[in-house]
Structure 1
Amino acid sequence: MTLRRWTTAWAILACALGASGPAVAHPHVWVNMRSDVVFNDQGLITALNLMWTFDDNYAQMAIDGLDANGDGVYSPDELEPLTKENMASLKDYDYFTVMRFNGEKQALGEVTESGQIWSNDKLALHFQVPLKTPLDPTKGEFVAKVYDPDFFIAIDYVKDDPVSVIGNIPKSCKLVVKPVPTDAEVEETRAMLSTKGPDWKPENNEDFGAVFAQPVTIQCKA
């Protein structure tokens, strides 16, 4: 019964991950996100840490039946099956994470660090998305965007301390979190898109979802 209930709960997010097509107009799952740009000791960008806090409706359904010992607490071990399913599905979509360097999309490594926490009646998933090849930020601009291109899952940064840096960032570099587009800017973008033909693509071969995603950048002085 527990596994059956958990599978039903996961189906909501799995359906969201599996959906495709431009007809999708509104999200079914909401996520509040914060992230860290990770540097190694040599000052190279190696990964992006992500923390997703899910909306209450999805969270309550997702955890239903996972309290195996009935103590009213959802431990990391009890949440591990849900975490594994989350990560397995997210892998098929590159974890909704796009990292670019000088405009070029970068290959991602496999996520090996992940976990899920239930605290203060909130369900949060944390994981690290590594780059296959570390990047030297002094040689160009690094841009990271996290979003669902089909808009089934709304992923928005928290207002307070949304992004930070971990590790040895070069002294000539700084973290810049570009602002969320205003309603007027969104409408302007939508109006622009309505004038484009079916074969039109955004710059750098991005998809339509990227146009509305909030960018995180590392910018360095020459």
Structure 2
Amino acid sequence: MRLSRRCVTSLAVLGALAASTSPARVHPHIFAEARLDVVIGPDNKVHSLQHVWRFDDLFSSTVLVEFDTNKDLKLDHKELEEVGKTVHESLAEYNYFQVVTQDGKDVKMVAPDKLIATLEDNQLIILFESKMAEPLPLKGKLDFGVYDPTFYTAIDFVDDANMAVQNLPPACAREVIRPDPDEAIAANQSSLTDAFFNDPTGTDLSKIFATRLELNCNAAG
């Protein structure tokens, strides 16, 4: 099974994107509760990000219907592998909804080898790990976020503890940032153009709305 280009932008087995995609007006159609773990190695560098996304009941049931090829009202191992493969291919263009920056500059990531899909209590869960192209030193301001640039999928970190860091040294300060949309627009007004509000494929500027984990490690080695 392959998704159309418009469906790809939103994981959409639910359908095509709405015609209007203004961040001020658009409403997400897919919802996921997420957890992000930033993995720091003994060398005091960030090596990878571990993601867990639990999708809403409606989207989960739609995935079940679309991928249940033998029509037994459940997803077996082979069918779940196909779900993971399809989502993996669909999100490649969007860096798997993740953004990592160091002092405001994008950090290059390596695509995950695969995405693991499972069903738990009738909810679709996607798990994957992505690595930095090079281990990231704990220096300056590091930001880690997860967002859909099309605004079609809402990735929600319900609790600040769901953006976690493994082995964070005492020299680093940790904070979860939840931008206010109106304040984000006002602060970036000079960068926002008509193309930002009308491009259905989304733009990098969408990340100004993303919940993110911020590490300030100016004193770290």
TM-score range, shorter chain: 0.7 to 0.9
Amino acid corresponding to residue 187 of structure 1 in structure 2: D
Partner of 1:143: 143
Q: Secondary structure at the match of 2:48?
A: strand
* Structure 1 pair 95–15 and aligned structure 2 pair: CA distance change class (3 A): closer
| Residue 216 of structure 1: how far off its partner (Å) | 0.6
Query: Is 1:40 paired with 2:36?
Result: no
- Report matched runs for 1:104-123 at 5 Å: 104-123=105-124
After TM superposition, the score normalised by the length of structure 1 is 0.77
Distance in 1 separating the partners of 2:192 and 2:35: 35
Partner of 2:169: 170
Query: Is 1:216 paired with 2:218?
Result: no
Amino acid corresponding to residue 218 of structure 1 in structure 2: L
Amino acid corresponding to residue 176 of structure 1 in structure 2: E
Partner of 1:155: 155
Unmatched 5+ residue regions in structure 2?
Answer: 197-202
| Residue 57 of structure 1: how far off its partner (Å) | 1.2
| Residue 211 of structure 1: how far off its partner (Å) | 1.7
Amino acid corresponding to residue 148 of structure 2 in structure 1: D
- Please tell me whether the aligned partners of residues 44 and 169 of structure 1 are also in contact (alpha carbons under 8 angstroms): no
* Structure 1 pair 193–39 and aligned structure 2 pair: CA distance change class (3 A): closer
Q: Secondary structure at the match of 1:27?
A: coil
| Residue 113 of structure 1: how far off its partner (Å) | 4.8
Partner of 1:187: 182
> Which whole-Å deviations, capped at 9, do the CAs of 1:125-170 have from their partners, x for residues lacking one?
0111211011111x2111011111221111111226311223x333
Distance in 2 separating the partners of 1:99 and 1:37: 11
* Structure 1 pair 90–120 and aligned structure 2 pair: CA distance change class (3 A): same
Identical-residue share of aligned pairs (%): 27
- Report matched runs for 1:45-124 at 5 Å: 45-64=46-65, 65-66=67-68, 68=70, 70=72, 73-124=74-125
Distance in 2 separating the partners of 1:189 and 1:41: 36
Distance in 1 separating the partners of 2:137 and 2:190: 38
* Structure 1 pair 220–14 and aligned structure 2 pair: CA distance change class (3 A): same
Amino acid corresponding to residue 134 of structure 2 in structure 1: T
Query: Is 1:14 paired with 2:8?
Result: yes
| Residue 177 of structure 1: how far off its partner (Å) | 1.4
Q: Secondary structure at the match of 1:124?
A: strand
Distance in 2 separating the partners of 1:197 and 1:118: 39
Distance in 1 separating the partners of 2:19 and 2:204: 11
* Structure 1 pair 60–175 and aligned structure 2 pair: CA distance change class (3 A): same
Q: Secondary structure at the match of 1:161?
A: helix
Q: Secondary structure at the match of 1:16?
A: coil
Count of aligned pairs: 205
| Residue 193 of structure 1: how far off its partner (Å) | 6.0
Partner of 2:199: none
* Structure 1 pair 29–107 and aligned structure 2 pair: CA distance change class (3 A): same
